[in-house]
Amino acid sequence: MGQVHDHGAGNANSAALATALGLTGTFLLAEIMGAYVFNSLALLSDAAHMLTDTLALAVALVAIRVGRRPADRRRTWGYHRFEILAAAFNASLLFLVALYILYEAYQRFREPAEVGSLGMLAVAVLGLLVNWIAMRLLAGGSESSLNVKGAYLEVWSDFLGSVAVIVGALVIWATGWTWVDPVLGVGIAFWVLPRTWTLLSEAVDVLLESVPRGIDLDAVEEAVRGTAGVRDIHDLHVWALTSGKVALSAHVVVDASLSWEDRLEDVLGAMLRERFGITHVTVQAELAGAHGGVTEDRWGEPDQGHAHG
């Protein structure tokens, strides 16, 4: 059942990403033209974010489709990590764009330029509408996928950028204060950077096989020790394959009186899935009191050591 659910969620995310990609890609050209025609750094900043939106959505869409490829003899876990690589790429791209905008703002402070405020306003309003639609499409998938979350954050930052550009265009039109334009560009860049860092750090955690955020390793260890028939646990590892796919491996010392029919690993797999969202469990059982540290595998064939969620 879990695999059917994941496949359905992947299809929904793929459709949402494809639609959002069509919207942002179409509007990108209009915004780039508007930025140069009306000489607006704030609009150019928004266009740069829209460019990263388009690239992020395209990479995210490819990541989902590649991630569906089955495991093979070389990649036994399949291609799930491609999603995380896509998220890391999007975060890195956002960092570069933010730094570019800061540099351009510095140049504008040194040499102020005239800005076509009304044209800037019209393009920003259209951009706001496009980003709002894209955000609605991606909101659901952003809770369950780092890949979609990265694309969603791109669109969300651009949505706020459009709001800022609209406000700035109105202020410039009413007052003639052209310095408002680079100030907005800087504000948008600094708003994006901490969120980008969060996304990048989450992606790096997955790539380093860190314990996923939200999972307390001590609590997992205590829960396993509290299972009937378990004496101790060691060599415990918990990591994420990708968003929503958490794995665990461990050596578990079991009571010598535990019968072969007890199927301890099935019990542990069900408990860990329910309490911690760990979907793939591999346990090597050792008899309590085994001499010389020799491990005795109680579960027979190797592939019986996996409980799939």
Mean pLDDT, the chain, rounded, equals 75
For the record, the structure tokens of 167 come out as 């406000």
d(C-alpha 297, C-alpha 283), whole Å: 10
- The pLDDT, as a whole number, for residue 203 is 83
pLDDT, tens digit (0-9, with 9 covering 90-100), for 67-94: 677 777 777 667 777 778 877 887 887 7
Amino acid identity of 158? D
d(C-alpha 222, C-alpha 225), whole Å: 5
Architecture of domain 217-308: 2-Layer Sandwich (3.30)
d(C-alpha 124, C-alpha 132), whole Å: 12
* Domain residue extents for the chain: 2-207, 217-308
30 vs 167, more confident:
167
CATH topology of domain 2-207: Alpha-lytic protease prodomain-like (1.20.1510)
